[in-house]
């Protein structure tokens, strides 16, 4: 595995190429949210550089998950995915099972997991995981461990976005807790099985929205959201946390055959916008087609990074439109990633596997 750190220098990333985060946050209106989506959908607007040495494949923003796996026989492999009942998670599960993988599909209720798993062709095993409840996360992790299967792919995909008002779980802001702490805790249960696979892969679904996090990155004194709350700022914090977690996990996996990479799927009209006001959801449906990806294309990047043989040796990278790009420099802050790991372990407490 190459020393990914060599390729991660943010120096080549011009901050002028990022969309104007301050303007976005200052607008503070749902109109601004819609108007920003096209910029998010073009990850190349974030960077003028690709990380050196990482293979650039033949796929792009229009490629679908079926296309990026064409010709692959995934029989005998096992994938685990959160959020298997909706949007990108469902499409990823559908395609992986169609290619022969066994998928362990996690959803918030038995019914949702069972219905989703029953509706795909191929083998899918339903499990329950409510990421906002750590006893549910621990029960899910324990159940997956009990299956005893090496995990070739762990796709941490579920998420929530832009809650209009501050909501908390255990005193922490809800997007940070569900999107990051839930997955962080779950990942601790699954790591042994990823390491047991011939070449196990963690794929964490972040967002180009990680750039909406505060300038200083994770504000450890505001994880409750009480000092300062904005729907997009906290979504950005949670998605930056997804990225920092992945980079730290990748460093921890060095020397093994396992990898960890993080992705931005594009902008897709899934159920993720459920917290938008009704008129904005209607607007998304009416004009979204002009710049949004289909769900089939939205699921492509995570499916590609989870399966592409060419990526077996590459870890600690950020992908969008099925190719590596430079993330916001804050995602590459190793000191902050280490601190986030420590703080997250404290928050997970007894639920962190092996604690």
Catalytic residue ranges: 229
CB of 309 to ligand NAP, least distance (A): 24
Residues 6+ apart with CB under 8 A from 27: none
Q: How far is the CB of 6 from ligand NAP (least distance, A)?
A: 27
Q: How far is CA 273 from CA 207, 230, 262, in A?
A: 14, 16, 21
125 close to 336: Cβ distance less than 8 angstroms: no
Considering the complex, state which of residue 126 and residue 197 has its C-beta at the smaller distance from ligand NAP.
Answer: 126
The span from the CA of 142 to the CA of 42, in Å, is: 39
Q: Report the residue number, 81 or 197, with the smaller CB distance to ligand NAP.
A: 81
Instruction: Find, among 17, 52, 56, 91, the residue nearest to 265 by Cα.
Output: 91
Contacting residues for 132 by C-beta, under 8 A, at least 6 apart: 169, 174, 177, 178, 182
Q: How far is the CB of 142 from ligand NAP (least distance, A)?
A: 16
The span from the CA of 208 to the CA of 248, in Å, is: 19
How far the first Cα of the chain sits from its last, in Å, is 29
Q: What is the contact surface with ligand NAP in residues (CB under 6 A)?
A: 82-83, 85-89, 107-108, 112, 129-132, 157-161, 178, 205, 207, 264-265, 267-268, 270-272
Q: Which is nearer to ligand NAP, 159 or 200 (by Cβ)?
A: 159
CB of 160 to ligand NAP, least distance (A): 5
Q: What distance in Å separates the CA atoms of residue 20 and residue 12, rounded to the nearest whole number?
A: 18
CA 186 to each of CA 60, 203, 342: distance values in angstroms, whole numbers, following the listed order: 31, 13, 15
User: Looking at beta carbons only, is 200 or 273 nearer to ligand NAP?
Assistant: 273
* Smallest separation (angstroms) from ligand NAP to the CB of 122: 19
Of 215, 242, 219, 220, whose CA–CA distance to 329 is shortest?
Answer: 215
Tell the smallest beta-carbon distance from residue 335 to ligand NAP (Å): 25
Report whether 344 contacts 184 (CB < 8 A). Answer: yes
Reading the block at residue 34, the tokens are 């819609």
Distances (CA, A) of 331 to 92, 186, 197, 337: 25, 21, 27, 8
Residue closer to ligand NAP by CB (options 132, 217) is 132
Residue 132 or 200 having the CB closest to ligand NAP: 132
CB-count exposure of residue 60 (10 Å: 0-12, 13-18, 19+): exposed
Residue nearest ligand NAP, CB atom distance: 87
Q: How far is the CB of 299 from ligand NAP (least distance, A)?
A: 8
Q: Which is nearer to ligand NAP, 115 or 228 (CB)?
A: 115
């Amino acid at each position: 595995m190459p020393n990914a750190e060599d390729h991660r220098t943010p120096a080549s990333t011009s901050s002028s190429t990022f969309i104007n985060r301050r303007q976005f946050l200052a607008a503070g209106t749902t109109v601004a949210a819609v108007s920003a989506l096209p910029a998010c959908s073009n990850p190349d607007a974030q960077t003028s550089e690709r990380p050196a040495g990482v293979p650039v494949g033949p796929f792009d923003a229009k490629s679908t998950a079926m296309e990026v796996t064409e010709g692959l026989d995934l029989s005998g492999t096992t994938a685990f995915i959160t959020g298997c009942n909706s949007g990108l998670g469902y499409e990823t599960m559908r395609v992986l099972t169609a290619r022969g993988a066994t998928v362990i599909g996690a959803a918030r209720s038995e019914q949702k997991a069972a219905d989703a798993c029953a509706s795909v062709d191929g083998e899918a095993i339903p499990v329950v995981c409510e990421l906002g409840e750590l006893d549910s996360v621990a029960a899910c992790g324990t159940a997956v461990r009990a299956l005893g299967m090496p995990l070739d792919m762990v796709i941490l995909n579920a998420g929530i976005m832009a809650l209009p008002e501050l909501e908390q779980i255990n005193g922490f802001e809800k997007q940070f807790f569900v999107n990051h702490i839930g997955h962080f805790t779950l990942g601790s249960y699954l790591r042994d099985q990823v390491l047991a696979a011939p070449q196990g892969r963690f794929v964490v679904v972040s967002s180009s929205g990680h750039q909406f996090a505060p300038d200083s990155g994770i504000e450890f004194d505001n994880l409750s959201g009480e000092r300062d709350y904005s729907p997009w700022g906290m979504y950005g914090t949670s998605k930056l946390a997804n990225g920092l977690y992945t980079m730290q996990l990748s460093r921890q996996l060095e020397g093994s055959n396992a990898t960890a990479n993080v992705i931005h799927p594009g902008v897709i009209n899934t159920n993720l916008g459920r917290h938008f006001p009704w008129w904005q959801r209607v607007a998304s449906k009416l004009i979204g087609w002009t710049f949004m990806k289909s769900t089939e294309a939205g699921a492509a990047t995570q499916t590609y990074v989870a399966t592409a043989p060419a990526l077996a040796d590459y870890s600690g990278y950020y992908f969008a439109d099925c190719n590596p790009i430079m993330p916001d420099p804050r995602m590459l802050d190793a000191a902050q990633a280490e601190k986030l790991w420590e703080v997250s372990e404290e928050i997970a407490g007894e639920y962190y596997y092996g604690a």
